Amino acid sequence: MNIRLLNALTLTYLALATYIIILSLIPALGSLLRGGEWVGFDTGAYYYRDENLEVRFSGLPEGLGKPRVYVYAPNASYKPILLVDFDDRESTVEGYSFYYDSYEVIMSSYNETLLISYIFGKDLTVKKTIKPSNKTVDIILNSTNPFYYKLVIRGRNYTHVNGYPILFSSGYTLILKDIRNLDLVFNIKGVGEGRCKLSFSTPVKATIIRESRDLTSMIVEFHDKNLSIRVEGYIEGVRVSLLSYIASNIINHRLAQILLPIIAFIVTTLGWLLWIRI
C-alpha cells in the first residue's frame, strides 16, 4: 500500500477515534456542567436535575407543571417518577388564577434558585421561589399582605395520605384541617412503593380528591403572607433477579455516563490494534 495513502488513512482513523471518544464524554460533561443549576429555554420553561431528583417548570403557554417534581428510582432506567405537579390554572390567590388572571409573569434564575413573579395588579403581586437541593425542593410563596390562597397540587398512584387510605372510587374526598404535613404513599407497578412528603411552614387545610384511578388532587388552603412547601420523596426499589438488576443498572443514565467513554475507548483501541496488524 502506498505510504502516503497509509499515513492518510491512519490519521483519518485517529481523528475518527478521537471524535468518538469526545462524543462519548458529552453526557457526563453535560451533567457536570448543568447539574445543580437551572437551564432555561426560549418558551419560558426551566429545567433542573441532579443525581436524585428533577424539577421541570413548564413554558409560559402551559398552566400545569408550575413546577413538576420528579424523583429517580434506585437501579432504574433514565425515566424519573413524578412526585407532584403544581397546577397554576386552578391555583388562586384572592380568587385570581395564577395562570389566567396574572397579566404579567417575570422569571429569572440564579444558581439553584428559580424566581417567578406573578403580577395581578398594583396591590397584588406574588413571588414564587423554587429552590431544589440534593433531596428536597422548597417552593416558597411571598406577598406583601396576607391573602387567601388555594393551591392545587396533583399526583399519581397515591394509596395513602397521613395514614388514611385513598379509596380508588372516583370522587372520593378526604378533608384534613390544621396540618403541617402531607405524607403520601404511592405504588407503581414494576417500580415499587414510594413516599412523598409535603411540609408546610404554616398550618393549612388540605382536601384530597380522587379524580380517577391513578390521579389524585390536593387542594391546599391558607391565609397568610408567606408559605414554604418542602417536597421530598423516594422510591423503594422492588426485589428483582440478578440479571434484571444488572440490566437495569446498565440502562441507568448515571452508570451509562461512565460506561460510554469506557466502551468507546475499548472499541477504538481494539480497532487500532487490528489496523496496525494490516
Q: Please tell me which residue, 189 or 38, carries the higher pLDDT value.
A: 38
Per-residue pLDDT band for 263 (boundaries 50, 70, 90) equals confident
Does 61 or 205 have the greater pLDDT score? 205
Determine the pLDDT at residue 189.
77
Give the pLDDT confidence of 90-109 residue by residue, as tens digits: 999 999 999 999 989 999 99
Note the residue count of the chain.
278
Confirm if 225 and 179 have CB atoms less than 8 A apart.
no
Task: Give, in degrees to the nearest 5, the angle at Cα 58 between 71 and 181.
Answer: 45
Q: At what angle do helices 3-34 and 253-277 cross, to 10 degrees?
A: 170
- CB of 130 closer than 8 Å to CB of 142: no
Question: Percent of the chain, pLDDT > 90?
Answer: 48
Average pLDDT of 226-231? 96
Q: Which of 5-19, 29-43, 242-256 has the highest mean pLDDT?
A: 5-19
- Asked if residue 59 has pLDDT above 90, the reply is no
pLDDT at 93: 96
* Res. 26: pLDDT tops 90: no
Single out the residue of 39, 109, 83 nearest to residue 231, CA to CA. Answer: 83
- 59-78 mean pLDDT: 80
pLDDT at 253: 57
* Backbone φ, ψ for residue 143 (5° rounding): -140, 160
Q: How confident is the model at residue 163 (pLDDT cuts 50, 70, 90)?
A: very high
- Find the mean pLDDT for residues 120-134: 91
Output the pLDDT for position 256.
Answer: 63
Counting residues of the chain whose pLDDT is more than 70, the rounded percentage is: 81
Mean pLDDT of 156-168: 90
What's the pLDDT band for 231 if we cut at 50, 70, 90?
very high
pLDDT at residue 7 greater than cutoff 80? no
- pLDDT at residue 191 in the model: 75
Q: What is the pLDDT of residue 83?
A: 94
Instruction: Kindly tell me if the per-residue pLDDT of 247 is higher than 60.
Output: no
Q: Which of 62-76, 153-167, 205-219, 245-259 has the lowest mean pLDDT?
A: 245-259
pLDDT at 152 over 90: yes
Amino acid at 140: I
CB 71 within 8 A of CB 234: yes
